[in-house]
Structure 1
Amino acid sequence: MQQINDRQLAGVTVPDTAIIASAIDHARNSCEPYLFNHVVRSWLFAVRLAQLQNIEHDGEVLAVVALLHDITLNERFAGPRRFEVEGADLARLFAREHGFDRSRAQLIWDSVALNSTPSIGLFKEAEVALCTAGICFDVVGLQYELIPPSDVAAIVAEFPRLGMKQKMTRCFCHIARTQPGTTYDNFIRDFGERFVAGYKASSVVELVINAPFDEEQP
């Protein structure tokens, strides 16, 4: 782990290392402006939640994973796996190339892969849980009452939302339209069913019923 100094960003004390600076640059180069602001806000909200709840964690891991969690969320996405898994592989590669050991790199993979699955992510290691919480705070307002309104306002003022709801919806619908097989078991399915004409997810019920096994009668 590098020597970690602190700095202020939108009023939040965050760790400052060369790897974090590289992750910020990588996110800025990989994401549209609205999405870059989202990943930075997610990081800041995650850090603030950790501070307010006295949650010990690896600040470098949390920074890298929050900043890189959406690098595959764009209209260039071509699968073949769901965008979180594709992104997790890229984030883990970034971590390994920047000297993270296998354990820390695996935390990054888990955090990215589970970032949109709070029913699992919130119950894993502190870094995974905090990343999930920060992202869900920014996207759907999960645990919105935990961060003082003045802190939220300062973060959003520094990194404005830039029409995130509409732009993110457009991106989700693009993935549902062009790569529907990556969406049937995750939240993008909801966007496909609501907004994409002709979208029809396969049913887990049918998969179970049609599994290729003979069943003995009870």
Structure 2
Amino acid sequence: MTKSIAGIAIPDSKLANEAAELLREYGDPLLWNHSHRVFLFGSLLGRQENQKYDPELLYVSAVFHDLGLTKHYRSPDKRFEIDGANAARSLLEQHGLSKESTQLVWDAIALHQTIGVAQYKETVVALLYHGVGFDVMGDRFDELSEQTRSQVVSAFPRDGFKNKILHAFLDGIGHKPETAFGNIDSDVCERYLPGYKRPNFCDLVLQSPWNN
């Protein structure tokens, strides 16, 4: 694997390599390339803002952020972000990382789809969120030059990513659409899952067992 792209070094520690091997074993090329682009885009945005953070923790967060979609890590009843966060926490605990570092990675993964919250958290959490937003929705797209974007995509190609990632979400959460309530995955279920009707918060309030 290329060790430096667009001036950003891919962490090469024992922890980082083990995390990457888990992604390689249980993920697929789509998630492999996406996760590395997320790390690189998040790192590049952080560099532009002179942010200080632990690259290894950001890398592990990026590697695990979508692993909850895979058959190996998905649970029957939790949000896929929580499945990925729990898997990352297990690995970090095995490597003896501090509770603070472990919690930081857990939060980064668990909140990476939580719009309006994650960007105000600690730097690793915020940069993972921004890296995901950059790669998935093109958020802050013009803040990185075309040359920089091309270097990242050349190393980790998109290869039809726009459509493939939506179906990866569907594959990962289609058996538990109730976990999409209150988050952006309900959009995926509504578009691609036959018969799905998203719950309405107003209905839940008005139909509660309270008298008034």
> Fold-level match, TM-score > 0.5?
yes
* Residue 19 of structure 2 corresponds to residue 23 of structure 1: yes
Give the secondary structure class of the aligned counterpart of 1:192.
helix
Out of 5, 8, 19, the position equivalent to 1:10 is 5
- Scaled by the length of structure 2, the TM-score of the pair is 0.91
Out of 112, 118, 125, the position equivalent to 1:121 is 118
Give the secondary structure class of the aligned counterpart of 1:178.
coil
Which residues of 2 match residues 152-167 of structure 1 at below 5 A? 152-167=149-164
Give me the whole-angstrom Cα distance separating, in 1, the residues matched to 2:98 and 2:44.
Answer: 26
**2:68–2:82 contact (8 Å) kept in structure 1:** no
The runs of 5 or more residues in structure 1 that have no matched partner are 1-6
Residue deviations 1:143-173 (CA, integer Å, cap 9, x gap): 1111121111011011101222222121223
Give the secondary structure class of the aligned counterpart of 2:117.
helix
- Scaled by the length of structure 1, the TM-score of the pair is 0.89
Give me the whole-angstrom Cα distance separating, in 2, the residues matched to 1:177 and 1:50.
Answer: 34
Which residues of 2 match residues 24-63 of structure 1 at below 5 A? 24-63=20-59
Residue in 2 that maps onto 1:184: 181
Give me the whole-angstrom Cα distance separating, in 2, the residues matched to 1:79 and 1:110.
Answer: 21
Number of equivalent positions: 209
Which residues of 2 match residues 128-167 of structure 1 at below 5 A? 128-167=125-164
Counterpart amino acid of residue 41 in structure 2: F
The runs of 5 or more residues in structure 2 that have no matched partner are none
Give me the whole-angstrom Cα distance separating, in 1, the residues matched to 2:70 and 2:184.
Answer: 16
Q: CA deviation at 1:8?
A: 4.3
Residue deviations 1:52-87 (CA, integer Å, cap 9, x gap): 110111222111101111111236644311101111
Give aligned-pair identity as a percent.
Answer: 32
Q: Which runs of 4+ in 1 moved over 6 A?
A: none
Give me the whole-angstrom Cα distance separating, in 2, the residues matched to 1:175 and 1:33.
Answer: 16
Give me the whole-angstrom Cα distance separating, in 2, the residues matched to 1:175 and 1:42.
Answer: 19
Bigger Rg, structure 1 or 2? 1
